[in-house]
Structure 1
Amino acid sequence: MIHRWNPATVAPPIGQYSHLASVPADHELVMISGQVGVLPNGSLAGSDSETQTRQIFANIERLLDSLGAGPEHLMKLFTLVAGVEHLDGCRAARQETFARWYPGGDWPAHSLAVVVALADPALTVEIEGVAALPRR
């Protein structure tokens, strides 16, 4: 089982993340490339960051499912937001998703950066991840 924790020797996290996460010895790491808010047919889910972020998490869930895994296997997420104007929508979708994925608050490690732009001007958010899966 993935172990996530926050040592008492540092300030508590300022958001929905754990400071540390460790991989069990009998697990392998799987890297999840940056996901964007596109539907399975390749079209953009919507123009706003909340809609795109919801779709990103749906895509990550589908990728994990293809591996026989789930959100509980996520070790770390890295979010890129294209401008501060998209932070609120991204955070709202993350809070909604994390309430479903991690009802007990056992969140993965997570970093978020605001950037000038992503690969396409229509994209507002991109999220990549690292999962730890039991060895097959």
Structure 2
Amino acid sequence: MIRRWNPVDLAPPIGQYSHLAAVPADHELVFISGQVGVLEDGALSGPDAESQTRQALTNIERLLESMDAGPEQLVKLLTLVSGTEHLEGYRAAREDVFASWYPGGDWPAHSLAVVAALAAPELTVEIEGIAAVPRR
């Protein structure tokens, strides 16, 4: 089982993440490339950060399912948001999805960066991850 925690002698996280996460020896680390808000057919899920965040997280969930894993196996996420104007939509979608994925608040380690742009001008959010999947 992945262990996530926040040391008591450090300020608590300022968002939905844990300061530390540790992977048991019987797990394999899997690196998930940055996912954007594109549907299965390659079309953009919508022009806004909220719809793109929901789709990017759905894509991550599907990738995990392809390995018989789930969001509980996520150890670390890195989110890139293309401009502060997209933070509100990103946070709304993340909070909603995380409430479903982590009802007890046992969130993975997570970093958020606001960047000038992503790979295409219509993209507002990109999320990459590291998962710990039990060895088979």
- TM-score (norm: length of structure 2): 1.00
Tell me if 1:12 matches 2:18. no
In the TM superposition, what are the counterparts of 1:4-83 in structure 2 within 5 Å?
4-83=4-83
Q: Deviations over 1:39-79 (max 9, x none)?
A: 00000000000000000011000000000000000000000
Give 1:9 shift.
1.1
CA distance in 1, matches of 2:77, 2:40: 21
Measure the CA separation in 2 of the matches of 1:125 and 1:77. Answer: 13
TM-score by length of 1: 1.00
| Matched residues, number | 136
The answer on 1:89 being equivalent to 2:77 is no
SS of residue in 2 equivalent to 1:93: helix
Deviations 1:9-58 (A, max 9, x none): 11000000000000001001000000000000000000000000000011
Structure 1 counterpart of 2:3, which letter?
A: H
* Aligned counterparts of 1:9 and 1:110: Cα–Cα separation in 2: 20
Letter in 1 for 2:95: Q
Structure 1 match to 2:125:
125
CA distance in 2 between partners of 1:126 and 1:118 (Å): 8
Inter-partner Cα distance in structure 1 for 2:3 and 2:90? 26
Tell me the secondary structure at the aligned position of residue 58 of structure 2.
helix
Supply the AA of the counterpart residue of 1:105.
G
| Corresponding position of 1:105 | 105
CA RMSD of aligned residues (A): 0.3
The percentage of aligned residue pairs carrying the same residue is 74
- Within 2, Cα distance between the matches of 1:62 and 1:17? 21
Question: What are structure 2's unaligned runs of at least 5 residues?
Answer: none
How far does the alpha carbon of each residue in 1:79-99 deviate from its partner, in whole angstroms, 9 at most, with x for none?
Answer: 000000000000000000000
Partners of 1:33 and 1:114 lie apart in 2 by: 18
